[in-house]
Structure 1
Amino acid sequence: MRKTKEETYQTIKQLLEIARQHFTEKGYANVAIDEIGKEAELTRGAIYHHFKNKEGLFLSVFEQVQKDIANHVEKEAMKSEDMWEQLLNGCRAFLTAASESHNHRILLIDGPAVLGWNTFRRMDQKYSMTSLKEQLQLMHNHGLISTSSIDSLTFCLSGAMNEAVLWITESPNRRQLINEVMETMESLLAGFENK
Protein backbone atom coordinates (compact mmCIF):
# COMPACT_ATOMS: atom_id res chain seq x y z
CA MET A 1 0.00 0.00 0.00
CA ARG A 2 1.40 3.39 -1.02
CA LYS A 3 1.70 6.13 1.54
CA THR A 4 0.39 9.63 1.03
CA LYS A 5 2.81 12.55 1.00
CA GLU A 6 1.63 13.52 4.49
CA GLU A 7 2.22 9.99 5.81
CA THR A 8 5.69 9.94 4.26
CA TYR A 9 6.46 13.35 5.78
CA GLN A 10 5.33 12.14 9.23
CA THR A 11 7.41 8.95 8.90
CA ILE A 12 10.53 10.94 8.01
CA LYS A 13 9.87 13.46 10.80
CA GLN A 14 9.50 10.67 13.37
CA LEU A 15 12.60 8.91 12.06
CA LEU A 16 14.68 12.09 12.34
CA GLU A 17 13.47 12.72 15.89
CA ILE A 18 14.38 9.19 16.97
CA ALA A 19 17.72 9.30 15.16
CA ARG A 20 18.55 12.67 16.71
CA GLN A 21 17.92 11.28 20.17
CA HIS A 22 20.11 8.24 19.50
CA PHE A 23 22.95 10.29 17.96
CA THR A 24 22.79 12.73 20.89
CA GLU A 25 22.83 10.09 23.61
CA LYS A 26 25.23 7.55 22.09
CA GLY A 27 27.25 9.34 19.45
CA TYR A 28 27.33 8.39 15.79
CA ALA A 29 29.74 5.47 16.14
CA ASN A 30 27.61 3.75 18.80
CA VAL A 31 24.27 3.98 17.00
CA ALA A 32 22.93 1.07 15.00
CA ILE A 33 20.37 1.64 12.27
CA ASP A 34 18.48 -1.42 13.50
CA GLU A 35 17.95 0.24 16.91
CA ILE A 36 16.48 3.31 15.27
CA GLY A 37 14.34 1.12 13.01
CA LYS A 38 13.02 -0.89 15.92
CA GLU A 39 11.97 2.22 17.81
CA ALA A 40 10.43 3.75 14.68
CA GLU A 41 8.82 0.40 13.79
CA LEU A 42 10.55 0.42 10.42
CA THR A 43 12.81 -2.08 8.71
CA ARG A 44 16.36 -1.24 7.71
CA GLY A 45 15.15 -1.28 4.08
CA ALA A 46 12.43 1.25 4.87
CA ILE A 47 14.98 3.57 6.49
CA TYR A 48 17.31 3.20 3.50
CA HIS A 49 14.39 4.03 1.24
CA HIS A 50 14.37 7.52 2.76
CA PHE A 51 18.09 7.84 3.51
CA LYS A 52 20.84 6.22 1.49
CA ASN A 53 22.73 4.99 4.55
CA LYS A 54 23.50 5.80 8.19
CA GLU A 55 25.65 8.76 7.16
CA GLY A 56 22.78 10.10 5.04
CA LEU A 57 20.47 9.86 8.04
CA PHE A 58 23.06 11.63 10.19
CA LEU A 59 23.46 14.38 7.57
CA SER A 60 19.71 15.04 7.71
CA VAL A 61 19.81 15.16 11.51
CA PHE A 62 22.86 17.45 11.40
CA GLU A 63 21.07 19.78 9.00
CA GLN A 64 18.02 19.86 11.29
CA VAL A 65 20.23 20.83 14.23
CA GLN A 66 21.78 23.61 12.09
CA LYS A 67 18.31 24.88 11.12
CA ASP A 68 17.03 24.82 14.70
CA ILE A 69 20.04 26.77 15.96
CA ALA A 70 19.84 29.26 13.07
CA ASN A 71 16.14 29.88 13.79
CA HIS A 72 16.89 30.40 17.49
CA VAL A 73 19.72 32.82 16.71
CA GLU A 74 17.51 34.81 14.32
CA LYS A 75 14.66 34.97 16.84
CA GLU A 76 16.93 36.15 19.68
CA ALA A 77 18.80 38.65 17.50
CA MET A 78 15.56 40.30 16.43
CA LYS A 79 14.53 41.04 20.01
CA SER A 80 16.30 44.38 19.55
CA GLU A 81 16.17 47.02 16.83
CA ASP A 82 19.74 48.12 17.61
CA MET A 83 22.17 46.44 15.17
CA TRP A 84 24.94 46.05 17.76
CA GLU A 85 22.53 44.42 20.18
CA GLN A 86 21.25 42.18 17.38
CA LEU A 87 24.79 41.00 16.71
CA LEU A 88 25.53 40.37 20.38
CA ASN A 89 22.13 38.73 20.98
CA GLY A 90 22.78 36.45 18.02
CA CYS A 91 26.25 35.51 19.28
CA ARG A 92 24.90 34.70 22.74
CA ALA A 93 22.02 32.71 21.24
CA PHE A 94 24.47 30.65 19.17
CA LEU A 95 26.71 29.93 22.16
CA THR A 96 23.71 28.95 24.26
CA ALA A 97 21.96 26.77 21.68
CA ALA A 98 25.06 25.11 20.28
CA SER A 99 26.31 24.21 23.76
CA GLU A 100 23.06 22.52 24.78
CA SER A 101 23.53 18.79 25.34
CA HIS A 102 21.11 17.81 22.55
CA ASN A 103 23.06 19.87 20.00
CA HIS A 104 26.80 20.11 20.63
CA ARG A 105 27.75 16.47 20.05
CA ILE A 106 25.97 16.32 16.69
CA LEU A 107 27.02 19.82 15.65
CA LEU A 108 30.67 20.07 16.65
CA ILE A 109 31.95 16.62 17.60
CA ASP A 110 30.37 14.05 15.30
CA GLY A 111 29.50 16.55 12.55
CA PRO A 112 33.06 17.22 11.34
CA ALA A 113 34.20 13.64 12.04
CA VAL A 114 31.35 11.90 10.21
CA LEU A 115 30.67 14.33 7.39
CA GLY A 116 34.24 15.48 6.77
CA TRP A 117 35.47 19.05 6.91
CA ASN A 118 34.25 20.05 3.45
CA THR A 119 30.63 19.07 4.11
CA PHE A 120 30.76 20.38 7.67
CA ARG A 121 32.09 23.76 6.54
CA ARG A 122 29.59 23.99 3.68
CA MET A 123 26.70 23.36 6.09
CA ASP A 124 28.15 25.74 8.68
CA GLN A 125 28.40 28.45 6.05
CA LYS A 126 24.88 27.78 4.80
CA TYR A 127 23.23 28.11 8.21
CA SER A 128 25.40 29.82 10.83
CA MET A 129 27.76 31.96 8.84
CA THR A 130 25.27 33.31 6.31
CA SER A 131 23.22 35.18 8.90
CA LEU A 132 26.36 36.33 10.72
CA LYS A 133 27.82 37.68 7.48
CA GLU A 134 24.54 39.39 6.57
CA GLN A 135 24.45 41.14 9.95
CA LEU A 136 28.08 42.25 9.70
CA GLN A 137 27.56 43.47 6.13
CA LEU A 138 24.46 45.41 7.16
CA MET A 139 26.37 47.03 10.02
CA HIS A 140 29.26 47.84 7.70
CA ASN A 141 26.86 49.39 5.17
CA HIS A 142 25.43 51.58 7.97
CA GLY A 143 28.91 52.70 8.99
CA LEU A 144 28.78 50.93 12.35
CA ILE A 145 31.83 48.72 11.82
CA SER A 146 35.08 49.21 10.01
CA THR A 147 36.84 46.23 8.46
CA SER A 148 38.75 45.58 5.27
CA SER A 149 37.03 42.21 4.83
CA ILE A 150 33.59 41.14 5.97
CA ASP A 151 34.44 37.58 4.89
CA SER A 152 37.54 37.50 7.08
CA LEU A 153 35.66 38.86 10.08
CA THR A 154 32.84 36.37 9.55
CA PHE A 155 35.16 33.37 9.39
CA CYS A 156 37.16 34.52 12.42
CA LEU A 157 34.09 35.13 14.57
CA SER A 158 32.41 31.90 13.49
CA GLY A 159 35.53 29.84 14.18
CA ALA A 160 36.00 31.49 17.56
CA MET A 161 32.41 30.78 18.56
CA ASN A 162 32.58 27.13 17.44
CA GLU A 163 35.75 26.65 19.49
CA ALA A 164 34.22 28.48 22.45
CA VAL A 165 31.22 26.13 22.37
CA LEU A 166 33.53 23.11 22.63
CA TRP A 167 35.21 24.73 25.64
CA ILE A 168 31.88 25.68 27.25
CA THR A 169 30.55 22.12 27.01
CA GLU A 170 33.50 20.76 28.97
CA SER A 171 32.44 22.65 32.10
CA PRO A 172 29.51 22.26 34.50
CA ASN A 173 29.43 26.09 34.73
CA ARG A 174 28.00 26.56 31.25
CA ARG A 175 26.20 29.86 31.97
CA GLN A 176 29.27 31.40 33.58
CA LEU A 177 31.47 30.47 30.62
CA ILE A 178 28.92 31.80 28.13
CA ASN A 179 29.03 35.12 30.01
CA GLU A 180 32.86 35.09 29.95
CA VAL A 181 32.90 34.38 26.21
CA MET A 182 30.39 37.16 25.58
CA GLU A 183 32.56 39.64 27.51
CA THR A 184 35.47 38.63 25.29
CA MET A 185 33.33 38.86 22.14
CA GLU A 186 32.19 42.35 23.10
CA SER A 187 35.79 43.46 23.60
CA LEU A 188 36.83 41.93 20.29
CA LEU A 189 33.95 43.48 18.39
CA ALA A 190 34.57 46.88 19.99
CA GLY A 191 37.84 46.95 18.02
CA PHE A 192 35.78 47.03 14.81
CA GLU A 193 33.38 49.72 15.96
CA ASN A 194 33.44 52.73 13.67
CA LYS A 195 33.73 55.65 16.08
Structure 2
Amino acid sequence: MSKYQREYGEPPPKTQRNFTDPESRIMKLQQGFEQCYNAQAVVEEGRQLIVAQQVGQNAADHGVLLELVDEVERNTGSKPQRVLADAGYRSEENFAGLEGRQVEGLVALGRESRSEQPKVGGAATARMRRRLAEPRGQQYYARRKGLVEPVFGWLKAGLGFRQFSLRGLRKVQGEWSLVTLALNLRRMAGMVPLATVG
Protein backbone atom coordinates (compact mmCIF):
# COMPACT_ATOMS: atom_id res chain seq x y z
CA MET A 1 0.00 0.00 0.00
CA SER A 2 1.40 3.39 -0.97
CA LYS A 3 1.80 6.31 1.45
CA TYR A 4 -0.89 8.17 -0.52
CA GLN A 5 -3.35 5.30 -0.06
CA ARG A 6 -2.59 5.13 3.68
CA GLU A 7 -3.13 8.88 4.13
CA TYR A 8 -5.99 9.52 1.72
CA GLY A 9 -7.54 6.07 1.31
CA GLU A 10 -8.77 4.45 -1.84
CA PRO A 11 -12.31 4.87 -3.14
CA PRO A 12 -14.43 1.89 -4.15
CA PRO A 13 -13.88 0.82 -7.81
CA LYS A 14 -17.34 2.05 -8.90
CA THR A 15 -16.36 5.65 -8.02
CA GLN A 16 -13.19 5.75 -10.08
CA ARG A 17 -14.41 7.83 -13.03
CA ASN A 18 -16.46 10.98 -13.51
CA PHE A 19 -17.90 11.69 -16.93
CA THR A 20 -19.44 15.06 -15.98
CA ASP A 21 -16.12 16.67 -15.06
CA PRO A 22 -13.15 14.48 -15.99
CA GLU A 23 -10.70 17.15 -14.73
CA SER A 24 -11.97 16.82 -11.14
CA ARG A 25 -10.50 14.14 -8.90
CA ILE A 26 -11.78 11.69 -6.32
CA MET A 27 -10.75 12.93 -2.88
CA LYS A 28 -11.33 11.58 0.59
CA LEU A 29 -13.36 13.96 2.73
CA GLN A 30 -14.81 13.56 6.24
CA GLN A 31 -18.03 12.14 4.82
CA GLY A 32 -16.31 9.71 2.43
CA PHE A 33 -15.07 10.01 -1.13
CA GLU A 34 -16.28 12.74 -3.47
CA GLN A 35 -15.44 13.98 -6.93
CA CYS A 36 -14.08 17.47 -6.37
CA TYR A 37 -11.32 20.05 -6.57
CA ASN A 38 -9.07 21.24 -3.75
CA ALA A 39 -9.67 24.96 -3.14
CA GLN A 40 -7.00 26.88 -1.23
CA ALA A 41 -7.09 30.34 0.33
CA VAL A 42 -4.46 32.39 2.16
CA VAL A 43 -5.90 34.80 4.71
CA GLU A 44 -4.07 37.80 6.15
CA GLU A 45 -4.35 38.25 9.86
CA GLY A 46 -5.42 41.88 10.31
CA ARG A 47 -8.64 42.12 8.32
CA GLN A 48 -9.03 38.46 7.37
CA LEU A 49 -8.98 39.22 3.66
CA ILE A 50 -8.03 36.52 1.17
CA VAL A 51 -4.66 37.54 -0.29
CA ALA A 52 -4.00 34.45 -2.43
CA GLN A 53 -6.10 31.56 -3.67
CA GLN A 54 -5.85 28.55 -5.92
CA VAL A 55 -7.77 25.49 -7.06
CA GLY A 56 -6.00 22.20 -7.63
CA GLN A 57 -6.63 18.62 -8.62
CA ASN A 58 -4.50 17.02 -5.90
CA ALA A 59 -5.99 16.04 -2.54
CA ALA A 60 -2.65 16.65 -0.83
CA ASP A 61 -2.02 20.27 0.17
CA HIS A 62 1.76 20.17 0.62
CA GLY A 63 2.53 20.75 -3.07
CA VAL A 64 1.00 24.24 -3.17
CA LEU A 65 2.32 26.00 -0.07
CA LEU A 66 5.30 27.70 -1.71
CA GLU A 67 3.22 28.66 -4.76
CA LEU A 68 0.71 30.35 -2.46
CA VAL A 69 3.47 32.19 -0.55
CA ASP A 70 4.83 33.48 -3.88
CA GLU A 71 1.31 34.50 -4.95
CA VAL A 72 0.88 36.50 -1.73
CA GLU A 73 4.00 38.48 -2.62
CA ARG A 74 2.79 39.07 -6.20
CA ASN A 75 -0.67 40.16 -5.04
CA THR A 76 0.35 42.38 -2.13
CA GLY A 77 3.81 43.59 -3.10
CA SER A 78 5.41 42.13 0.02
CA LYS A 79 6.17 38.65 1.22
CA PRO A 80 4.47 37.39 4.35
CA GLN A 81 6.45 37.58 7.58
CA ARG A 82 4.97 34.36 8.89
CA VAL A 83 3.01 31.39 7.52
CA LEU A 84 0.71 29.32 9.76
CA ALA A 85 -0.45 26.07 8.17
CA ASP A 86 -1.88 22.72 9.21
CA ALA A 87 -0.14 19.37 8.85
CA GLY A 88 -1.42 18.89 5.30
CA TYR A 89 1.27 21.33 4.16
CA ARG A 90 4.17 19.63 5.96
CA SER A 91 7.17 18.60 3.89
CA GLU A 92 10.92 19.07 4.11
CA GLU A 93 10.77 20.89 0.76
CA ASN A 94 8.20 23.39 2.09
CA PHE A 95 10.15 24.01 5.29
CA ALA A 96 13.40 24.60 3.38
CA GLY A 97 11.54 26.74 0.82
CA LEU A 98 10.09 28.99 3.53
CA GLU A 99 13.54 29.38 5.08
CA GLY A 100 15.01 30.22 1.67
CA ARG A 101 12.35 32.91 1.22
CA GLN A 102 13.09 34.21 4.74
CA VAL A 103 9.51 33.57 5.84
CA GLU A 104 8.94 32.22 9.32
CA GLY A 105 7.00 28.99 8.97
CA LEU A 106 4.85 27.40 11.65
CA VAL A 107 3.48 24.26 10.01
CA ALA A 108 2.07 21.43 12.10
CA LEU A 109 3.96 18.17 11.86
CA GLY A 110 1.02 15.90 12.59
CA ARG A 111 0.02 14.16 15.76
CA GLU A 112 2.99 12.90 17.76
CA SER A 113 2.47 11.76 21.32
CA ARG A 114 5.00 12.99 23.83
CA SER A 115 6.27 9.42 24.34
CA GLU A 116 6.94 8.85 20.61
CA GLN A 117 10.29 9.59 19.10
CA PRO A 118 10.02 12.45 16.58
CA LYS A 119 9.29 11.27 13.07
CA VAL A 120 12.23 11.23 10.71
CA GLY A 121 12.78 14.39 8.72
CA GLY A 122 15.55 16.56 7.41
CA ALA A 123 17.29 19.51 9.00
CA ALA A 124 14.50 21.95 8.09
CA THR A 125 11.93 19.62 9.69
CA ALA A 126 14.01 19.49 12.87
CA ARG A 127 14.11 23.30 12.97
CA MET A 128 10.32 23.42 12.41
CA ARG A 129 9.82 20.97 15.29
CA ARG A 130 11.90 23.22 17.59
CA ARG A 131 9.99 26.36 16.52
CA LEU A 132 6.65 24.68 17.20
CA ALA A 133 7.82 23.50 20.63
CA GLU A 134 8.82 27.01 21.76
CA PRO A 135 6.18 29.03 23.66
CA ARG A 136 6.34 31.79 21.01
CA GLY A 137 5.72 29.26 18.23
CA GLN A 138 2.82 27.70 20.12
CA GLN A 139 1.32 31.13 20.74
CA TYR A 140 1.42 32.05 17.04
CA TYR A 141 0.27 28.65 15.80
CA ALA A 142 -2.75 28.69 18.14
CA ARG A 143 -4.11 31.62 16.09
CA ARG A 144 -4.28 29.63 12.82
CA LYS A 145 -7.80 28.23 13.18
CA GLY A 146 -9.17 31.64 14.12
CA LEU A 147 -7.81 33.09 10.88
CA VAL A 148 -8.73 30.76 8.06
CA GLU A 149 -11.68 28.75 9.40
CA PRO A 150 -14.01 31.78 9.80
CA VAL A 151 -13.31 32.78 6.19
CA PHE A 152 -14.47 29.40 4.89
CA GLY A 153 -17.49 29.70 7.20
CA TRP A 154 -18.34 33.11 5.72
CA LEU A 155 -18.06 31.66 2.22
CA LYS A 156 -20.55 28.94 3.12
CA ALA A 157 -22.95 30.79 5.41
CA GLY A 158 -22.65 34.37 4.15
CA LEU A 159 -22.31 33.79 0.43
CA GLY A 160 -24.02 30.40 0.28
CA PHE A 161 -21.07 28.88 -1.55
CA ARG A 162 -20.92 25.12 -1.01
CA GLN A 163 -19.88 23.70 -4.37
CA PHE A 164 -18.66 24.77 -7.77
CA SER A 165 -21.26 25.34 -10.48
CA LEU A 166 -18.86 25.16 -13.41
CA ARG A 167 -16.89 22.24 -14.84
CA GLY A 168 -13.25 22.05 -15.88
CA LEU A 169 -10.23 23.23 -13.90
CA ARG A 170 -9.87 26.57 -15.71
CA LYS A 171 -13.53 27.50 -15.22
CA VAL A 172 -13.53 26.31 -11.61
CA GLN A 173 -10.43 28.43 -10.92
CA GLY A 174 -12.28 31.42 -12.40
CA GLU A 175 -15.32 30.71 -10.25
CA TRP A 176 -13.15 30.42 -7.11
CA SER A 177 -11.47 33.73 -7.99
CA LEU A 178 -14.88 35.42 -8.25
CA VAL A 179 -16.17 33.87 -5.03
CA THR A 180 -13.10 34.92 -3.03
CA LEU A 181 -13.21 38.40 -4.60
CA ALA A 182 -16.90 38.73 -3.67
CA LEU A 183 -16.11 37.82 -0.07
CA ASN A 184 -13.24 40.33 0.05
CA LEU A 185 -15.47 43.09 -1.36
CA ARG A 186 -18.17 42.29 1.17
CA ARG A 187 -15.63 42.38 4.00
CA MET A 188 -14.10 45.65 2.76
CA ALA A 189 -17.52 47.28 2.45
CA GLY A 190 -18.04 46.59 6.14
CA MET A 191 -14.75 48.29 6.97
CA VAL A 192 -15.67 51.62 5.38
CA PRO A 193 -17.32 54.04 7.81
CA LEU A 194 -20.76 55.14 6.69
CA ALA A 195 -21.27 58.84 6.01
CA THR A 196 -24.11 60.49 7.85
CA VAL A 197 -26.33 63.06 6.25
CA GLY A 198 -27.63 65.55 8.66
What is the TM-score normalised by the length of structure 2?
Answer: 0.30
The structure with the greater share of residues assigned to strand is 2
The structure with the greater share of residues assigned to helix is 1
